Structure 1
């Protein structure tokens, strides 16, 4: 089968794109990412120049045609970690979904409408504003003749990645037969453990470690963090052990220190995760390059904003089966 072309919006470092291309059935021909720093990481790992323009300024006639349009449109407006402003977000992040719709409509007017839509967002999008926000999204896609399926999926249940990360995935097809053939992946056994993606036994750079001199709540960490094979979090006034043996949801602010940052105790001391370990926990391969020109704070943000690559790949494989 000839590879299907993909147009990627809000591409970040390319997690969705990597998941699709890993099937060997898709080829990304266009990527748009407004933030220049993840675009640097993207271009380091893909043979594609990123369009770093604001999506509001992108016209469909200026970009290639593609079979599949993908987007992990900004989720801060819908996230439990944010203010849950949704479409009313004062920074306009909640309305960027409609810019993707505009691109689709413009392509449709040129008889080049993408056959398939793939979207990813935070779980809280489903219940935001008593479900009305999510319904607007589904209705908007249906108005453009897409038959749509959606499901909330967790990384450690469906992606074989030891991270507790729930996200909503939306897949739409123009072709009704493909829609009827499609189903989301079934749960799989979690065989990848924390020790497979976190270097508990390896000494890291001193900057990753907590100490009495660098951390005012270190004595409590030292007292409460007794295990060397699991992940803890500092929760403002207490230490929380993650007893499920998976990592809590990675966030974009992991590089800032303080509240909610995943912590581990190892032979060399108490430390936060490295950027590479965070990318490992999103299922990126070991040969995915983290540019040395970027600060760790930016890399933490990029990892936290990205997606679980193996789960994306499983969904993309099922899309292939549905259309073939």
Structure 2
């Protein structure tokens, strides 16, 4: 089997490439486009590459390297409930960046293309934008399959819903089915660090501030805004959950600290002997990367090269859950996967 040639647009820290690596797919990333210099640097550290940050609007699609598989994840703010939801009319131009990816597809005609974006893109408010994307891809000669997938259904304790569009060039005789849901996921407590610096714990003032935010939201009829997950710690210093829990709302603004809309971890000791590790805290940068399916070695590569915690929070929140991409690729290109398990999967 010939080595798979891959390109990533809006690459982030390379969740797509990480999935290829974890599946042991023989591949070469021929190009990775990422505008932010710090993020591109982190991508290179994780994947041992040497790409330069680039503005996708300034590249010449005809000069783009040939490739078999294109990954692209245009900025989501134009369609996200966390943004102004301006769609194609986004004041900063982010809603139109899909068309920059389309130019590459038009010029290079890869066998496969996979797009990821927020669930909001599929809502009625953006029906025109979403249908336009699908129609243009179809006109370029692709059969398209799309579905909203939740990371919690694919082996990780993280509620994160995203839409994926899988495009297969029409001359390739292949049907595609999205992976079915899995019944079990890694416990949230298994993803947590046993002992973390006290700086991650919320002060009494910060806790009072969260309560004030809750009260204001409740007075406005908005319900509770704070999101807590309760994790217990026993006398042996081991975390456990009394019932399965999911982490919610890991976003790119975690570096700004708690604001009443992000998940906090509530550590509850079984006895006074463990009280020093109790209280309400933020997830650590390492925990955030774990929640996105990255490996601990990726975190240590970043920290050994002086990548700040705030940058890791930001990049984690902007990334894609690697586990989900792995499951899609197992369905889409099992012929490229070296493991016997993957080779047994057929479309």
Q: Which residue of 1 aligns with 2:52?
A: 51
Alignment check: 8 A CA contact 1:21 1:27 kept: no
Cα distance in 2 for partners of 1:142, 1:218 equals 48
1:198 to 192, 195, 198: 192
Deviation beyond 6 Å, 4+ runs, structure 1: 218-221
1:53-77 Cα offsets, whole Å, 9 max, x none, are: 1101111244321111111111111
| 2:292 aligned partner | 282
1:160 equivalenced with 2:138 (yes/no): no
What are the equivalent positions in structure 2 for 1:119-268 lying under 5 Å apart? Answer: 119-127=115-123, 129-157=125-153, 159-175=154-170, 177-180=172-175, 182-199=176-193, 202-213=194-205, 215-217=207-209, 239-241=226-228, 245-257=245-257, 258-266=259-267, 267=275, 268=277
Compared CA separation, residues 255 and 63, structure 1 to 2 (3 A): same
CA distance in 1, matches of 2:85, 2:211: 35
> 1:238 Cα shift?
5.8
Query: 2:309 — aligned with what?
Result: 296
Moved more, 144-153 or 247-256: 247-256
Tell me which residue corresponds to 1:273.
Answer: 283
SS of equivalent to 1:317: helix
Instruction: Please tell me whether residue 73 in structure 1 is matched to residue 65 in structure 2.
Output: no
CA distance in 1, matches of 2:8, 2:226: 39
RMSD, aligned CA = 2.4
Taking the aligned partners of 1:322 and 1:173, their CA distance within structure 2 comes to: 15
Give the equivalent residue in structure 2 for 1:313.
Answer: 326
Question: Residue 103 of structure 1: CA displacement?
Answer: 1.6
Q: Aligned to 2:155, what secondary structure does the other structure show? A: coil
SS of 2:174's partner is helix
Write out per-residue CA displacement over residues 245-284 of structure 1, whole angstroms, 9 at most, x where no aligned residue. Answer: 1001311111212121221122423210001101111111
Q: For residues 54 and 2 of structure 2, what CA distance do their matches in structure 1 show?
A: 30
SS of 1:278's equivalent in the other structure is helix
Conserved 8 A contact 2:226-2:261: no
In the alignment, the residues of structure 2 paired with residue 129 and residue 304 of structure 1 have an alpha-carbon distance, to the nearest angstrom, of: 24
SS of corresponding position for 1:129 = helix
Compute the displacement of 1:102 (Å): 1.0
Q: TM-score, normalised by structure 1?
A: 0.86
**Structure 2: tracts of 5 or more residues without a match:** 214-221, 230-242, 268-274, 337-345
1:238 and 1:88 map into 2 onto residues whose CA distance is: 29
- Shift of the alpha carbon at 1:28? 1.8
Where do 1:89-100 residues align within 5 Å? 89-100=90-101
Partner of residue 230, structure 1: none
Paired with 1:160 and 1:167, the residues of 2 have a C-alpha distance of 15
Residue equivalent to 2:10 = 10
Residue aligning to 1:105: 106
CA distance, structure 2, for counterparts of residue 274 and residue 178 of structure 1: 45
- CA 1:314/1:145 → structure 2, altered by over 3 Å: closer, same or farther? same
Structure 1 Cα separation of the partners of residues 106 and 21 of structure 2: 25
- Provide the C-alpha distance between the structure 1 equivalents of 2:210 and 2:103, rounded to a whole number of angstroms: 51
| 2: CA distance, partners of 1:238 / 1:106 | 46
Q: What is the distance in 2 between the residues matched to 1:12 and 1:132?
A: 27
User: Secondary structure of 2:65's match?
Assistant: coil
The CA distance in 2 between the partners of 1:307 and 1:136, in whole Å, is 24
Matched residues, number: 302
Unaligned runs of 5+ in 1: 108-112, 222-234
